[in-house]
Structure 1
Amino acid sequence: MDNVLSFHQGRLPLLISMPHAGLRLSDAVRDGLVEQAQGLPDTDWHIPRLYDFARDMGASVVAAQYSRFVIDLNRPDDDKPLYAGATTGLYPATLFEGEPLFKAGLQPSPEERERYLEQIWRPYHNTLRRELDRLREQFGYALLWDAHSIRSRIPHLFEGKLPDFNLGTFNGASCDPALAERLRAVCDQAEGYSHVLNGRFKGGHITRHYGDPAKHIHAVQLELAQSTYMDEFAPFTYREDLALPTQQVLEALLQALLAWGQARYAR
């Protein structure tokens, strides 16, 4: 499988990961999807565009090209569940609303899925590992920002309306607590936006697996409510009027992340 990811190497100790931004499908997945899944409604829509300022800042950026309907890059390769209650796995079988993802009998074969694991999942994670190791070697530490978004209301997954900014640090295990508090303070100052730390979304596999403060790798997941920058239903239109102020908060969060790292690891 080709073009499984895009990667840009930056000049700062910050790597931004976008595991659910992909839109490509394998033939087997495309042929098997139910009609309501064919528009890829569970995509983290427009995340590369929303974070397009990050390259100019100097961040490294890795983004998936294949849809999470093919394989979910934010799940472990053994498919061990990360959340209690309703969730999706390494090879999603349902839409976020709980309906089957594939027509009966048309799921990709075990052999096909093994190919996705080897040719999509592993290259993405190998890229993450290499870049984090490079950053830590060059700067003495590395900062990982796992960028996500989701529809603000999904009754099958959570009650009510999701806060706008959902920060996850695996209950404090994936980054220094002082860094989490610095980020929460930025959200406190973001007028008109709601936020939570380690609420419904505490960080998926990427945050939990790579975040290792004892080894000077600090990882944070942001699950952003899509209502802050786009229309949440098809055709999933990007809204500049919403996105511009949201980008200002995102940039403030990333600047705070970098400032904390510079102060913490000042040489």
Structure 2
Amino acid sequence: MSPCTPPGRWGWKPATAAWRSASWPTSSPGTSSVRRSWPTGWEAICRNASFATPRRYTVDEVLSFKRGRVPLLISMPHPGTRLTPAVDAGLVEEARALTDTDWHIPRLYDFAEELGASTLAAHYSRYVVDLNRPSDDKPLYSTATTGLYPDTLFDGRPLYREGMAPSAEERMRYLAEVWTPYHRTIAEELARLKAEFGYALLWDAHSIRSHVPHLFDGRLPDFNLGTNAGASCDPALAARLEVVCAAAEGYSHVLNGRFKGGHITRHYGQPEQHVHAVQLELAQCTYMDEQAPFAYRADLAEATRAIIRELLESLLAWGRERYA
């Protein structure tokens, strides 16, 4: 474990056992829960670490969180475009377009407030630290992928100029100050939802270019649902979502294809504990231009948003029926 990874009782320890065994609170935390202090003594350890940049990143710099009124949290870990000075200084020129960003995801899901869902969106680029990877950086896929601290672009080219990647010490700081607050917020909000409603639903929202030969062959289906091969949610829920996708004329879909769910889906989806998680990896051609400057296409997005909304409404309806 990294010396600046908080202990497991908070629910974001690298080992999934911490999440499985965590006791859920009996009352809802206050609205300031995302700012909760780390366990006594742990913050001092990180404060005394010799970081290259002494200023700490604040929670407001790292993420946006809005609490809702229904048992659904929508997580958006990859729309961020902020870079730390060390990352910015080392990037190769072709990486500066931030091509691998999940562009416009908060805009695509901006109807979430109408549904009453809680929303969580990251501000920092995945090039700083990938929030959908475990803190021990254990590979999630046997095929080509990127790690907790990406060193390559999705197309396999180097992300950094030679010798210019952030130091191990700097990356430890990103884990403590960027990765950890995001996962702390997920853990606390799911705990709050489960305490209030008896169950919680987690939707992990992603998008990617429809053609990335280094990562997958051919064209990606439009809607890629991931449930960790059925382990992160009730099979009946996955089946209901597939019905919605199958009825979407002109769109393709797959369940547990190339993208089965990253760390967030796998770590927090515990259906036996009444926490159900689903990842949607959306082909970007369904709502935007896939070439720089990566413009949002309202003419494409309107229909895509309608399908996503129907998926989320079906998710909520399933929860109401299952836990009635």
Equivalent position of 1:110 in the other structure: 168
- Residue 93 of structure 1 deviates from its aligned partner by 0.5
- In the alignment, structure 1 segments of 5+ residues that lack a partner are none
- What is the distance in 1 between the residues matched to 2:147 and 2:251? 30
Are 1:61 and 2:119 counterparts?
Answer: yes
Runs of 4 or more, structure 1, over 6 Å off, are: none
Equivalent position of 2:281 in the other structure: 223
- What is the distance in 1 between the residues matched to 2:144 and 2:256? 17
| Cα displacement string for residues 143-198 of structure 1 (whole angstroms, at most 9, x for unaligned residues) | 00000000000000000000000000000000000000000000011011000000
- Residue 55 of structure 1 deviates from its aligned partner by 1.2
* Of 150, 160, 167, the match for 2:225: 167
TM-score scaled by length of structure 2: 0.82
Looking at CA atoms only, which structure, 1 or 2, has the larger radius of gyration?
2
3-state SS of paired residue (2:97):
coil
Equivalent position of 1:128 in the other structure: 186
Equivalent position of 1:244 in the other structure: 302
Amino acid at match of 1:158: F
Are 1:184 and 2:246 counterparts?
Answer: no
- Residue 85 of structure 1 deviates from its aligned partner by 1.6
- Residue 139 of structure 1 deviates from its aligned partner by 0.3
TM-score scaled by length of structure 1: 0.99
- What is the distance in 1 between the residues matched to 2:234 and 2:250? 27
Equivalent position of 1:97 in the other structure: 155
- Residue 57 of structure 1 deviates from its aligned partner by 1.1
Between the aligned residues of both structures, percent identity stands at 70
* Of 87, 96, 107, the match for 1:49: 107
Aligned length: 266
3-state SS of paired residue (1:38):
helix
Amino acid at match of 1:102: Y
3-state SS of paired residue (1:63):
strand
- What is the distance in 2 between the residues matched to 1:72 and 1:130? 20
Equivalent position of 1:233 in the other structure: 291
Are 1:143 and 2:201 counterparts?
Answer: yes
Instruction: Please provide the CA RMSD for this pair.
Output: 0.4
3-state SS of paired residue (1:44):
coil
